[in-house]
């Protein structure tokens, strides 16, 4: 094992993890649990029969939730190569999740306007987007807390 494989693994000993970072990680775990619990409800509507895209969305939401629930501290203690691959997947899934939520919100708004109802503010979806975008930097800083200095 060369020095780049172990880089950042023992960094938490000299750099304690800030409580805000722990809270951010806990919010990611909460987001993952919420996505698993609500994915079927967010995907399938009683109005229309499920399309193939609904099953794709369900699979994506569950896969993203599983990524959020992974034990990132243990993964960070393992090989750097596997951590980097999983981190890249997490970052990509976070960005895709944001686009999925934005498109979902836009189509919901178009449906509401088409039926003559006034749409409200998408505050909850905005919170989910914020939590999703926060996870990749949180996982990175948990592995390398010295980067916060």
Task: Look up the pTM and report it.
Answer: 0.80
The pLDDT of residue 47 is: 66
Residue 124 forms part of a structural domain:
yes
Q: Which residue has the tokens 């959020």?
A: 68
Task: Check if the beta carbon of residue 15 is closer than 8 Å to that of residue 146.
Answer: yes
How many domains does the chain fold into?
1
State the residue range of the domain holding 123. 16-148
- C-alpha torsion 40→46→48→52, nearest 10: 10
Tens of pLDDT, residues 25-53: 999 999 999 999 988 887 776 666 667 77
**Per the domain annotation, does 142 fall within a domain?**
yes
Q: Specify if 5 maps to a domain.
A: no
The pLDDT value recorded for residue 2 is 43
Check pLDDT > 60 for residue 1: no
Domain-located, residue 88: yes
Confidence check: pLDDT of 110 > 70: yes
| pLDDT for residue 5 | 41
3 found inside a domain: no
């Amino acid at each position: 094992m060369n020095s780049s494989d172990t880089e950042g693994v023992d960094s938490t000993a000299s750099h304690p993890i800030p409580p805000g970072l722990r809270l951010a990680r806990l919010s990611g775990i909460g987001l993952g649990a919420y996505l698993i619990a609500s994915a079927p409800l967010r995907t399938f509507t009683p109005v229309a029969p499920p399309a193939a895209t609904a099953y794709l969305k369900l699979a994506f939401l569950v896969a993203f939730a599983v990524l959020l629930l992974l034990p990132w501290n243990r993964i960070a203690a393992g090989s750097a190569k596997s951590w980097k691959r999983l981190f890249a997947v997490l970052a990509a899934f976070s960005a895709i999740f944001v686009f999925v939520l934005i498109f979902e919100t836009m189509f919901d708004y178009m449906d509401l306007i088409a039926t003559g109802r006034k749409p409200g503010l998408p505050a909850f979806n905005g919170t989910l987007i914020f939590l999703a975008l926060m996870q990749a930097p949180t996982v990175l800083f948990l592995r390398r807390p010295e980067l916060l200095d």
